[in-house]
Chain A
């Protein structure tokens, strides 16, 4: 079982490697990746250093080029692929079929993984990507139960990678445009959901009010855990008059208790989300998952881990892996 970990900066990459990551995934400092936050990500020179460091430790680096190229402006995406290939990264993670085609034709030796942004969750879709672009691995959307994942693995010829920990999305990965309605920018096109340039927090007496653009997304009372104001996790007043989370509550994914089943299902890699988080987050989450995976593989019980303070809303869920809704 491969542990694939996030790094938004070189120091987070150090932290991930020290904590026991098998693979670290990163992005360039532009809109070609789905974590295009200010001050984050890698320059080509930083990536070269990172790759040398990872390889010297017997680890790998994947590069996410997983947004959808803008019509009439393909060059940043093509440049990102060319740079990743020139540097010699171990794989690229991508979603757009045009970009997959470009990579297949220009850099056939560069290993290609299908991003979660492609939202491929059935054998027909995944086998198409395999046949058309020789994709070696698929990152599965967070919509399947462990049993469904095991069944899917029996019907496809590529490796599978699943999310283990981190921020949750509504179940329309790669197809969500909620952020665009308010900010004009979306994760698929601009690499950022609810961009920080449109986010504001205001302390009103004892309440913390979070806003996205001109819309109030939430109001937290004293002592209540706060969250990032994405529209999908807003608390709104519906017909009954009480504010409630109409789409999704602010909570993080944590599938640690399902590790034994996931390993048994034949999943090849576990992914930790959070390139936008600090190195302290990376160190703590990666080391906890490293210990847990090693314990399960040795046939031991899952060790205790305390990741509660790192979760959004101080809560976590096993999400669709343990689907208990219809």
Chain B
């Protein structure tokens, strides 16, 4: 079966993608409350974000990590954020904007370690809906030196300590694994890519040939017309 989605909406081949497949059969009862706690602590640590988001009033962003089997609905009310986890494929009819990309890009954006415009220009991020709202969100989050580690460090309850314990090793494991996955991906798609390049070259060659032929036909038609006119004048 061929996936007809834009290449930009297809998830990258990564450890997260495989992990997503692994958890897909599980009921998606991801602790939404943990996410809300995370956002609450983020708001306390970085109040400037809420100040910059306040002009948006009430709005909601549908954030779709393309390599995970769920998505986030982030609701903003005068700068105060709450969030819900949605099942894979669940649509949101009244989202102010939808942002799609891989989860690693979203994490980098959150910490400001990557330029949002660059991600967008290179099509690793797809934005649909209210562009002004998305820009406000990006600028607000980027206005502080946000650290996910710092936010996690202050979370309380049974789950956060466990999460904190595995977050750092997981993050470094993920970085290492990304390189390996890239090698595997290159080796898997290498033969296909070579074939595509050959076909591209052939198409370019055919296009040039067609253009040449077109020019010659136009020349011949013009010459024919001139001959016709010349005959008429006599």
Contact (Cβ within 8 A) A208 B6? yes
The answer to whether the Cβ of B120 comes within 8 Å of any Cβ in the partner chain is yes
Contact (Cβ within 8 A) A38 B115? no
Contact (Cβ within 8 A) A226 B142? no
Contact (Cβ within 8 A) A39 B53? yes
- Which 7 A/B pairs are nearest by Cβ-Cβ distance? A39-B139, A9-B143, A39-B136, A196-B132, A38-B136, A281-B115, A199-B131
- 30 example contacts (A-B, Cβ-Cβ < 8 A) are as follows A9-B142, A9-B144, A10-B144, A11-B142, A37-B135, A38-B55, A39-B52, A39-B55, A39-B135, A39-B137, A39-B139, A196-B135, A197-B131, A197-B132, A201-B131, A206-B6, A208-B6, A208-B123, A220-B123, A222-B8, A223-B123, A226-B121, A278-B117, A278-B142, A279-B142, A280-B115, A281-B115, A309-B118, A309-B122, A310-B117
1/0 per residue, CB under 8 A from A, across B128-164: the answer is 1101111111111011110000000000000000000
The interface residues of chain A lying within 8 Å CB-to-CB of B203 are none
The answer to whether the Cβ of B101 comes within 8 Å of any Cβ in the partner chain is no
- A39-B138, A199-B132, A226-B123 are contacts. A278–B116 as well, Cβ < 8 Å? yes
The answer to whether the Cβ of B77 comes within 8 Å of any Cβ in the partner chain is no
* CB-contacts of A78-109 with B (<8 A): none
Contact (Cβ within 8 A) B138 A11? no
User: A residues touching B (Cβ–Cβ < 8 Å)?
Assistant: 8-12, 14, 37-40, 195-197, 199-203, 205-208, 220, 222-228, 277-281, 284, 309-310, 312-314
Task: Please measure, in the bound complex, the distance between the C-alpha atom of A220 and the C-alpha atom of B122, giving whole angstroms.
Answer: 11
The interface residues of chain B lying within 8 Å CB-to-CB of A223 are 7, 123
Separation in Å of the A195 CB from the closest CB of chain B?
A: 7
The count of chain B contact residues (Cβ–Cβ below 8 Å) is: 38
The answer to whether the Cβ of B184 comes within 8 Å of any Cβ in the partner chain is no
Contact (Cβ within 8 A) B132 A38? yes
Partner of A208, one of B4, B52, B126, B137: B126
The answer to whether the Cβ of B92 comes within 8 Å of any Cβ in the partner chain is no
A contact patch SS = mixed
Task: Please measure, in the bound complex, the distance between the C-alpha atom of A115 and the C-alpha atom of B115, giving whole angstroms.
Answer: 26
User: B residues touching A (Cβ–Cβ < 8 Å)?
Assistant: 4, 6-9, 48, 52-53, 55, 112-118, 120-123, 126-129, 131-140, 142-145
Most chain A CB within a 10 A radius of its CB, from B115, B123, B129:
B115
Besides the known contacts A37-B139, A278-B112, 17 further A-B residue pairs in the complex with CB atoms under 8 A apart: A8-B139, A11-B143, A12-B142, A12-B143, A37-B135, A39-B135, A202-B128, A203-B126, A222-B8, A224-B123, A226-B121, A226-B122, A278-B117, A278-B138, A280-B114, A309-B122, A313-B121
Nearest A residue to B46 via CB reads A11
The interface residues of chain A lying within 8 Å CB-to-CB of B8 are 203, 208, 222
The interface residues of chain B lying within 8 Å CB-to-CB of A226 are 120-123
Nearest A residue to B49 via CB reads A39
Contact (Cβ within 8 A) B112 A279? yes
Contact (Cβ within 8 A) B121 A39? no
Task: Please measure, in the bound complex, the distance between the C-alpha atom of A279 and the C-alpha atom of B113, giving whole angstroms.
Answer: 8
Separation in Å of the B141 CB from the closest CB of chain A?
A: 9
Contact (Cβ within 8 A) A280 B52? no
The interface residues of chain A lying within 8 Å CB-to-CB of B139 are 8-9, 37-40
Contact (Cβ within 8 A) B136 A281? no
Partner of A200, one of B114, B116, B131: B131
Partner of B118, one of A202, A228, A310: A310
The interface residues of chain B lying within 8 Å CB-to-CB of A312 are 121
Separation in Å of the B180 CB from the closest CB of chain A?
A: 23
Contact (Cβ within 8 A) A225 B131? no
Nearest A residue to B127 via CB reads A201
Separation in Å of the B43 CB from the closest CB of chain A?
A: 16
Separation in Å of the B175 CB from the closest CB of chain A?
A: 17
Contact (Cβ within 8 A) A201 B118? no
Nearest B residue to A8 via CB reads B139
Task: Please measure, in the bound complex, the distance between the C-alpha atom of A208 and the C-alpha atom of B8, giving whole angstroms.
Answer: 10
Contact (Cβ within 8 A) A225 B121? yes
Nearest A residue to B114 via CB reads A280
- A39-B135, A280-B113, A280-B114 are contacts. A206–B7 as well, Cβ < 8 Å? yes
Task: Please measure, in the bound complex, the distance between the C-alpha atom of A186 and the C-alpha atom of B139, giving whole angstroms.
Answer: 21
Separation in Å of the A26 CB from the closest CB of chain B?
A: 12
Nearest A residue to B134 via CB reads A196
Contact (Cβ within 8 A) B128 A203? yes
Separation in Å of the A243 CB from the closest CB of chain B?
A: 16
Separation in Å of the A30 CB from the closest CB of chain B?
A: 12
Task: Please measure, in the bound complex, the distance between the C-alpha atom of A187 and the C-alpha atom of B114, giving whole angstroms.
Answer: 27
The interface residues of chain A lying within 8 Å CB-to-CB of B120 are 226
Nearest A residue to B146 via CB reads A11
